[in-house]
């Protein structure tokens, strides 16, 4: 706790406001001034009525082995297997040329 005497009761450092406040703004040994504690409490408790949960919320904890697997995409096979060798490519080109001339 940082305390600086100033001749008027002293100053203390508020960890929430990150500034020096008069000692009278603190409750006993708390590290935050009353004003910052009040602001924090209002933020935590201010929930609009339409957002209030109807059932208590439970935290879902999953581990890697419990997570659902991603759906597998079906493997689509091409209608004609592509040629693999240069010889097959040449053979197909010659056949296409023959069909084009017929």
Q: What is the pLDDT of residues 58-95, one digit of tens each?
A: 666 666 665 566 667 777 766 666 656 888 888 888 99
Residue 90: other Cβ atoms inside 10 A: 11
In this structure, what DSSP letter does residue 51 have?
G
Would 11 be classed as within a structural domain? yes
Would 81 be classed as within a structural domain? no
Q: What is the pLDDT of residue 35?
A: 92
Would 10 be classed as within a structural domain? yes
Would 34 be classed as within a structural domain? yes
Tokens matching residue 53: 């949960």
Would 8 be classed as within a structural domain? yes
Alpha carbon of 83 to those of 13, 79, 80, 93, 98: distances in Å?
A: 77, 12, 9, 11, 18
Would 23 be classed as within a structural domain? yes
Q: Identify the domain containing residue 25 by its residue range.
A: 1-45
* pTM given for the model: 0.41
Q: CA angle at residue 53 from 51 to 54, to 5 degrees?
A: 125
Would 6 be classed as within a structural domain? yes
**CATH number of the structural domain spanning residue 18:** 4.10.1100.10
Would 25 be classed as within a structural domain? yes
Residue that has been written with the tokens 């004609």 in this structure: 80
Instruction: Name the band, by pLDDT with cuts 50, 70 and 90, for residue 50.
Output: low
With b meaning 16 or more CB within 10 Å and e meaning fewer, what string describes 50-77? Answer: eeeeeeeeeeeeeeeeeeeeeeeeeeee
The total of structural domains in the chain comes to: 1
């Amino acid at each position: 706790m940082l305390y600086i005497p100033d001749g008027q009761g002293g100053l203390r450092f508020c960890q929430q406001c990150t500034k020096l406040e008069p000692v009278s703004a603190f409750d006993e040994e708390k590290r935050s001034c009353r004003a910052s504690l009040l602001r924090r409490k209002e933020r935590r408790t201010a929930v609009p009525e339409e957002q209030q949960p109807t059932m208590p919320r439970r935290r879902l904890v999953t581990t890697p082995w419990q997570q659902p697997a991603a759906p597998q995409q079906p493997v689509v096979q091409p209608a004609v297997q592509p040629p693999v060798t240069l010889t097959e490519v040449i053979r197909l080109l010659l056949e296409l040329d023959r069909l084009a001339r017929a």
